[in-house]
Amino acid sequence: MESVVNVVKGKQLYEGKAKIIYATDKPDLYIQYFKDDATAFNAQKKGTIGQKGICNNKISTCFFELLQTKGIDTHFVKMLSEREMLVKRLDIVQVEVTIRNIVAGGMAKLLGLEEGIELKEPVLEYHYKHDGLGDPLINEYHIKALDLATDEEMHYIRERSFEINNILKNFLVDRALILVDFKLEFGRDAKKKIVLGDEISPDTCRFWDRETRKKLDKDRFRRDLGGIEDAYQEVLMRITGKK
């Protein structure tokens, strides 16, 4: 999309746990506002992480721009301000895609594995986007039977997700960060084309320092490890070179 889009901010459409979505005067464009609020364990744990919204907006912008240069279509149009990103309006597919390179979090728990085991190849999981149920694990049969997406759409989503993993992994290696795992959301744009949506940030990815394996992501909040603000700033600096 052209980079000279100017929009007028409209009414608030939706407030989520970490973001607010606003309409604009252009029906196919929304504004995504990044908050400092943080939740974990299906919103049972609540808090704020200072400057998180600013970090996540800048980090997501960097990743979306990188992916777009590599031919991945995303909802990103441009960064509007420190906390605001202009995005394409999407009809979100109610399936979260998780890619894992190293065992952690949900996979460690589900299969009784120790965190930190390198996987022989990336693992892809689907979770049904349903807060009330805690985003349960589902497979392609559920997705088809519940009409959440077509086979063709899921084929595209699966291929893009692995491609995104390779692009991000390679990019982060040079920044001394290990991409442990991450979650993606896709949606249909005005032309019904599947594009990547949501955000890519320390809220939605696990990043470990390559040398020390220190956690530099939302796990510091989830597990009360302290130093959360510094971890987000550190990721921002390594990724963009700027604070």
Q: Site map for ligand 5GP, 2-41, x if CB under 6 A?
A: ----------------------------------------
Q: Could you say whether residue 198 binds ligand 5GP (CB under 6 A)?
A: no
- Is 196 buried (19+), middle (13-18) or exposed (0-12) by CB count in 10 A? buried
Q: Which of 19, 75, 89, 218 binds ligand 5GP (CB under 6 A)?
A: 218
Cβ(220)–Cβ(228) under 8 Å? yes
Specify the residue, 29 or 138, whose C-beta has the smaller distance to ligand 5GP: 138
Specify the residue, 10 or 106, whose C-beta has the smaller distance to ligand 5GP: 106
Q: Which of 70, 92, 105, 229 binds ligand 5GP (CB under 6 A)?
A: 105
What is the three-class DSSP state of 177? strand
Produce one character per residue of 58-71: b if its CB has 16 or more CB atoms within 10 Å, e if not: bbbbbbbebbeeee
Amino acid at 145: A
Q: What is the DSSP string of 23-51?
A: EESSTTEEEEEE-SEEEETTTTEEEE-TT
Q: What angle do CA 19, 42, 135 make, to 5 degrees?
A: 90
Q: Could you say whether residue 206 binds ligand 5GP (CB under 6 A)?
A: yes
What is the three-class DSSP state of 12? strand
Q: Could you say whether residue 186 binds ligand 5GP (CB under 6 A)?
A: no
Which of 4-12, 24-32, 102-110, 159-167 is the region at the interface with ligand 5GP (rule: CB under 6 A)? 102-110
Q: At what angle do helices 228-240 and 52-69 cross, to 10 degrees?
A: 30
Number of residues that bind ligand 5GP (CB under 6 A): 15
Q: Which of 55, 203, 215, 228 binds ligand 5GP (CB under 6 A)?
A: 203
Q: Site map for ligand 5GP, 43-82, x if CB under 6 A?
A: ----------------------------------------
Region of residue 209 (left: phi > 0; alpha: psi -120 to 50; beta: else): beta
Q: Which residues pair with 177 in a beta bridge?
A: 209
Q: Which of 24, 60, 98, 165 binds ligand 5GP (CB under 6 A)?
A: 98
Q: Could you say whether residue 122 binds ligand 5GP (CB under 6 A)?
A: no
C-alpha–C-alpha distance, residues 220 and 99, integer Å: 20
Q: Could you say whether residue 204 binds ligand 5GP (CB under 6 A)?
A: yes
Q: Which of 19, 183, 215, 220 binds ligand 5GP (CB under 6 A)?
A: 183
Footprint of ligand 5GP (CB under 6 A) = 96, 98, 104-107, 135, 181-183, 203-206, 218
